[in-house]
Structures are given as C-alpha cells and as structure tokens.
C-alpha cells in the first residue's frame, strides 16, 4: 500500500469554512434586528451566502475519510482504530462542551437551582440531540457519519462499478429524502398540509440532509489522482485552457448565492409563493459549488498567496474544531458588552463580534495545544504542523506527505 500524499491546503479549506460558520453566527441576530432597515439586505446576504458552512465541512470529512481509508484493508483492526480515534477526539470534547453549555444556559436563564433529576433528564436529551447550544447539532451529524462510514466504505470497495456514480448517487438519495420529508409518503394535493417524517431529529441534524456533499467528497477522494489538476487552480492550468471552466464555476457560485439571498429577501419582506423545494435547490446548488470554489481558493492561497496569509490560515484551520466548539461563548459575551448605537457603529460591532469570535477562540485553542497537556480532551486531536516548504512548488509536481 503506497503512502498517501498529504494535501496541505486542506487546513486552509477548514479555515475558510470555519470563517463561514462565524459569519452565520455573528449575523444570526442581526438579520432579525435590522429587518426593515438599509442594513438588512447586506447582512442577509452575508448570512445566506455563508450557509454553505456545514455542507462543505461534511464534504471535507467525506473526502478525508475516503481518501485515507479507501485503499486500506477493511478489517477489525481498522474499524477499532477508526472508532477509537473518534471516541477520543470527537465524542469526549462534545460531551464536555455539552455539559459546559448546558450549565451556561441554566446560568443565563437563572435556573441553576433546577432539581437534579430534571437537570439530568434535560442534559441527556441535549447530549442525544446536540441541543445544548445552537451549533452542537453538527457533532451529531458527524457521529452519524462515523456510524455509517464503515458500511459505506465496504459498499464502495466491494462494488467498484458504482464508483464513477458516487456523487450522483448521493445527490439522488438526498433529494429523495428532501421530497419524502416534505410530503411524507403522500402525493401532494390542494387539501394536503404536509407531514414531515419523524426520525427523532430535525431535518438539519440528519446526515440524510447532507448526502450529496458527503458522496461528492467520497467520489473526489476515489478519483483524486485523476481529477486534482482540475480542482487545483494554477498558472499551468490556465495556460492549458482550464481557466474558462474555473471562471464559469465561480460565476455560477456567485450568481446562485446572490439569487438564493434575493429569494429569501423577497420572502421575508413581501412574501413569496415559491415552493419550499426551490429554496432547498438553491442552497444545495450553491453549497455544492462552494465545495469546489473553496478548494480553488485554498490551493491558490497555499501555493501562490503571501506566506503570512498561508501561515495564519493554516493555523486557523488546524484549530478549527476547537474554534467551532468555543466561539459561541465568545460571541455571547461580546454582544453583552458591545451593542446598539448608530448604523455605522452597529455594523462595526457585528464585524467586531466576528473578529473577536475567531481570534480569541483561535488564541485560546492554539495556546492550549501548545502549552496544556491533555488539551485534546476539550479541543480534539492536537494537529501535526506541516513541514515548512523550502520553496513554492507547482501543484502538478508537488508531493504531499
């Protein structure tokens, strides 16, 4: 079994994705508070355009998992190693942060005196559903991925003939779920109100809602050696005539993102008769394109961007799981201390909350990894730093560890 190339720019990909998460959370209250003002559309655009955040993380997880495990023998040792790492570096931090945010919510509501039995029941429900704080549902999605991953890996390894169709299969399965979730098992009619499938979790907390991204990542992982020259933007690729395709992808990405914002703007201001599936389609198309565009950005920054930018984004991406877990706590206190004022001050405060959530979380997580033994209990695995490059290399000839 040959050693896999290390794809260094993926840390920059994670950094861009976690910035989108921060953008959503920094503007979540804003799109409610600014409705009817001139600030509403710009903040709605930032919030809606960044909705690719969770999908691209699912895409990246699918790519990394299948890239690393597809060529390994599927046996008991591999399965035990896989689940051992996830138990240590994902589940333990999730449990600890769930307890932390659960207590924090009780403090905010003035309910620290709640009976222990009721507290234990509510905490148990939060652990199962990822509802201790608004962002923890993502970990529930990842845990579902870890449960089904060995089964998917077995499927893709056993049936080689389906590998070229992996991305399409994921898209079809996701949209089958979307349709069934909206209409139940009934055909729609004028008198039919709708009946969502009850699978124990909200639609957005189910891995079924993200299969197109997961399978796209898996499909690219399987054929990465063949298609990486199309994913990795470079001057050589531009000279080879790949530029028009890359430009078309970016234009579609921007155009669909703007259209997605505008349909939500119309719905929230004057109402809309559009079917809800239209909103799902726009979000899905924009997020799928975002998976490719963020890869383009990451590769371009890593190989052709300023060294200081590359270093900063690589470090942020390496700490992204810890930043994800911690940043809502930072945002809450920032909003407590900085709020109100003129439109300019208000906009500045929103940007400040985004910057504070990112920078303070990164500083804490980075310092913990560097100086605190056992920091993995809170923030997951301590990332290995990539070796410094002696010189920039062309993407076609570069080798990853």
Question: How many alpha carbons lie under 13 Å from residue 87 in its C-beta half-sphere?
Answer: 6
Domain assignment of residue 47, yes or no:
yes
Using a pLDDT cut of 70, give the percent of the chain over it: 91
d(CA 292, CA 231): 7
What digits encode the pLDDT tens for the residues 197-228?
667 788 889 999 999 999 999 999 999 989 98
Domain assignment of residue 78, yes or no:
yes
Domain assignment of residue 390, yes or no:
no
What digits encode the pLDDT tens for the residues 264-276?
999 999 888 788 8
**Domain tally, the chain:** 1
Domain assignment of residue 397, yes or no:
no
Which residues have CB under 8 Å from 261's CB, separation 6+?
41, 44, 45, 48, 49
Which residues have CB under 8 Å from 381's CB, separation 6+?
85, 88, 89
d(CA 312, CA 314): 6
| Calculated CA dihedral for residues 237, 243, 246, 250, nearest 10 degrees | 140
pLDDT level of residue 191 (50, 70, 90 thresholds) = low
Task: Calculate the alpha carbon distances from 389 to 225, 303, 310, 331, 382 in Å.
Answer: 22, 10, 11, 35, 21
Looking at residue 281, what is its pLDDT? 96
Which residues have CB under 8 Å from 28's CB, separation 6+?
47, 134
- The pTM of this model reads 0.90
Domain assignment of residue 238, yes or no:
yes
Domain assignment of residue 388, yes or no:
no
User: Are the beta carbons of 171 and 136 closer than 8 angstroms?
Assistant: no
Looking at residue 234, what is its pLDDT? 85
Domain containing 320 equals 10-379
Coil, helix or strand at residue 384: coil
Domain assignment of residue 356, yes or no:
yes
Domain assignment of residue 259, yes or no:
yes
Least confident of 54-58, 69-73, 184-188, 375-379: 184-188
């Amino acid at each position: 079994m040959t050693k896999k190339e290390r794809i260094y720019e993926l840390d920059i990909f994670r950094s861009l994705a976690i910035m989108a998460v921060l953008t959503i959370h920094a503007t979540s209250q804003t799109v409610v508070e600014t409705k009817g003002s001139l600030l509403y559309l710009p903040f709605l655009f930032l919030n809606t355009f960044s909705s690719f955040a969770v999908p691209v993380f699912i895409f990246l997880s699918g790519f990394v998992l299948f890239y690393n495990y597809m060529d390994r023998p599927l046996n008991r040792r591999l399965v035990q190693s896989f689940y051992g790492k996830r138990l240590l570096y994902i589940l333990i931090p999730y449990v600890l942060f769930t307890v932390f945010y659960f207590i924090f919510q009780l403090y905010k509501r003035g309910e620290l005196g709640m009976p222990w039995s009721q507290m234990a029941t509510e905490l148990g429900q939060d652990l199962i559903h990822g509802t201790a704080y608004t962002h923890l549902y993502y970990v529930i999605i990842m845990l579902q991925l870890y449960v089904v991953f060995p089964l998917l890996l077995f499927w893709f390894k056993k049936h080689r003939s389906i590998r070229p169709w992996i991305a399409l299969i994921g898209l079809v399965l996701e949209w089958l779920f979307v349709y069934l979730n909206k209409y139940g098992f009934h055909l729609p009619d004028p008198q039919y109100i709708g009946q969502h499938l009850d699978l124990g979790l909200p639609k957005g907390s189910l891995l079924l809602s993200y299969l197109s991204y997961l399978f796209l990542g898996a499909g690219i992982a399987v054929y990465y050696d063949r298609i990486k020259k199309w994913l990795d933007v470079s001057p050589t690729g531009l000279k080879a005539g790949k530029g028009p395709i890359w430009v078309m992808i970016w234009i579609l990405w921007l155009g669909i993102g703007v259209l997605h914002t505008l349909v939500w703007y119309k719905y929230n201001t004057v109402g809309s008769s559009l079917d809800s599936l239209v909103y799902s389609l726009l979000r899905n198309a924009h997020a799928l394109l975002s998976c490719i565009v963020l890869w383009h950005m990451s590769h371009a920054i890593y190989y052709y961007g300023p060294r200081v930018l590359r270093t900063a984004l690589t470090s942020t991406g390496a700490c992204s799981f810890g930043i994800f877990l911690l940043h809502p706590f930072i945002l809450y206190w920032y909003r407590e201390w900085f709020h109100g004022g003129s439109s300019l001050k208000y906009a500045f405060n929103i940007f400040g909350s985004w910057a504070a959530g990112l920078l303070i979380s990164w500083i804490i997580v980075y310092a913990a990894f560097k100086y605190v033994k056992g920091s993995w209990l809170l923030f997951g695995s301590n990332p290995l730093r990539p070796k410094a490059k002696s010189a920039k290399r062309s993407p076609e000839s570069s080798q990853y560890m």
